[in-house]
Each structure stands twice: as C-alpha cells, then as structure tokens.
Amino acid sequence: MKKTILLLAMVATSILMAGCSEPQAQGNQAEQQNPKKQQAASKQEKTVVVVNEGMSKKEEKKLQQRLDALERKVDDKSQKEAENQGASDSEQDAQSAEEQALEAAQDYYAAAAAGNYSYTYDALSSASQDQFTEDEWVAANTALGSDAAVYHIDAANVVDDSTVVIYLTITLADGSSSKRVTQFVLENDSWKHDLTQSEYELFAGATASAPATASASATSSDTASSTDASFGDGTYQVGADIQPGTYRTREGSPGCYYESLSGFSGEFDDIISNGSTDAPAIVTIKPTDSGFTSQGCGTWTKDLSAITKSKTSFGEGAYIVGTDIEPGTYRNSGSSGCYYERLNAFTGDFDAIIANGNADTPTIVTIAPTDAGFQSNDCGTWTELE
C-alpha cells in the first residue's frame, strides 16, 4: 500500500509540474528583463513551484478524478486478493481434512489386514467403542476373518471439517468382493473410525458374544441409544445422551422440526440453528452445542451411506454430494415456493450456505464436486442435464 501511495504522489507531482512549466518560464524571462526584481523573485521561487497557477479548475477536477480512479482500482485489487486468499484457505482446509482422514483410514485397514485388532479397536471413535469391549471386537473380527481380506479405498468425501465418508472395496480370500461405505470422524485431534449402522449390525452379528443391550439400543427408534448410533425424537444433552457428529434421517417424516441448543432455558436465544422439513434431513451436532431436540423427525442415525436409488435424479430433502448425488448441472421440474441451497457443511449456520435460490418455475443449478451437500424444499424432481 505504501508503494501505491508513493506512485499516486509521483503522478500528481508530475502533472502539477507540467501545468506549472509555462508560467514559470514566463516569470524567468521577466526577471532577466528587469534585474531589480530578480532578488525578490528568487526569494519566492519555492512558492512559484508549489502554487498551481497553470491549471484551471477543470484540469484540477480531472486530476482528482484520475487519482480517485487509481485508488479505487488499488482497493478493488486488494479486496479481490483477500477474497481469493479466503477461498484458497477454505479449499486447503478441506483438502487437509481429506488427506488426514485418508491417512488414518489407510493405517486402520492395513492393521485390519494384518490382524492387529487391538490397533483397530483403539482407532474406533468413542461412540463405536461404547458398542463393544475390546474382547468382543477381537472376537467379531476373528469370526469375520478380517485379516484375510484385502481393503482398497476407492474414494473419500468431506462432509464437514470433522466427518469424512470413505468408500471401500473389500475382497475376500475366495475372490468375492463387496462395497462398503464407512466414515472417519475427528475426535480429540485424531481421525477415528466411526461405525455406521450397517457396520455395527455386521460386527454385532458376527459373534454370539456381542452384547444384547448394544443390539437393542442400536435398533431403537423411540429413545436415545446409550451407544449414540441412533436416537429418536426428544431433547438430549450433547456429550452425555448423544455424541457430537453428523446425523441424518434416512427417510422423510411430515412436520419434522429440530434445533441445536446452547442451553435449556426454552428461550429463543438458546437456539443456535434449526430446521423444518417433510423430507430426509442432515444435521451436524457440534461439540460446543449443549443440546439437540427434534419433534416428528423419526430416527436420527450416524449411518451416512446413500439413501438415493439414482445419483442423478432426486427429490426434495438433504443429500450428501458424492454419496447420495453426483456433482453436475441439474434442472428441477418446477414447483411453487421452491427453495434450494448448496452447502459446505450441515451445521445449519448461515455460513454453511454457499449459494441459494427461490423459484416458482423450472430452474437450473450447478452442484460442484467440492460441495458437501445440497438440499431443497418444494422444488419437485431434480434431474441432471445431459
């Protein structure tokens, strides 16, 4: 900025001196013709250079306009550089989360293939560890033959800065293979394997030693589970009744309403964020939230696997980009009161909205590969353009 100010000063000085050159030359000629005035003129020499007697008011105005234009151009450039830096920082944060989660996943599945089940147990999230003791975990993996499988990570999708979905291909010793969707969550500055509902059922069913209480709580849709795998309608204390993380309702429920809370006074100021929908919903509960409440939403689960049959045609609701729907350009069928959002997170905060829009007629929106999610209400069916 100092260089910019110096440049502006030099431009102004150059123009001022150019405007003053002619009157100054005339003054010198007059001094040569009248030597008696030469001494007095020399005393005023500095004043003559500074005073802009050679520029009209119109020329001064033009000069000021040029200087103002230069300042605006510099300010615009500085603002764009700041915006670009902010976008770059956001992209780097998302890339860092993906890289760290991928590294944790690679270490985890390398240990599983080596039969190091103590390592994989330690690498489970606290909510997942609540579902099994270490002995039960080792027994379940032994029964499944986890050490005889080959694990290949196909892709990763950053849901938010603390949740990354991992896509796996698992090949067994007999040559058969299957796909699995799991997730890793950031917990105490470490990326941990967080079991989805389907994974819990797989490991719980692999051995008779899996606790019956965990099985019952994992399938309950009426009360909060002690394991935090899923919970129903009600008000819960974060960290005690339920753990922070990203949850979804895997099907719609008419009149669903939910809130993230900073306290339990019942006052309006306790509401951090909220939402209402008749369609499937997704919400990220932060570690800093005091509580969470929902009414008419059915079951909330940490199973973030796909809920769509087609990734290129879908209706209203909240969806994970890369899991439920593919990035691309979509057109909706049109519906009165349509509202949609592109999201970088599912926190429900205003800052989570990348872009949004309202329409009563068919509209087109491009969902970027870097978007975490997309949600819409009363927009009809979205179909990818060919």
* Cα–Cα nearest to 112, from 148, 166, 136: 148
- 0.85 exceeded by the pTM? no
Each domain of the chain, given as residue ranges in start order, spans 2-87, 99-215, 226-304, 306-386
What does the pLDDT read at residue 224? 39
pLDDT tens per residue, the chain (386 residues)? 444 444 445 545 554 454 444 444 444 444 444 544 444 444 444 444 444 455 666 666 667 777 777 777 667 666 666 666 555 555 555 568 889 999 999 999 988 888 888 899 999 999 889 888 888 898 888 888 888 888 999 988 888 888 899 999 998 877 788 888 899 999 988 999 999 877 887 888 875 444 443 333 333 333 333 334 789 999 999 989 998 888 999 999 999 999 999 999 999 999 999 999 999 999 999 888 999 999 999 999 988 889 999 999 999 999 999 899 999 999 999 888 999 999 998 989 888 999 999 999 999 999 998 899 999 999 999 999 98
User: Roughly how many angstroms between the first and final C-alpha of the chain, as a whole number?
Assistant: 48
Q: How far is CA 282 from CA 48, 75, 146, 301, 343, in A?
A: 74, 40, 31, 9, 11
What does the pLDDT read at residue 378? 94
What does the pLDDT read at residue 202? 84
Class of domain 99-215: alpha beta
Q: Report the alpha-carbon distance of residue 241 to residue 308 in Å, rounded.
A: 30
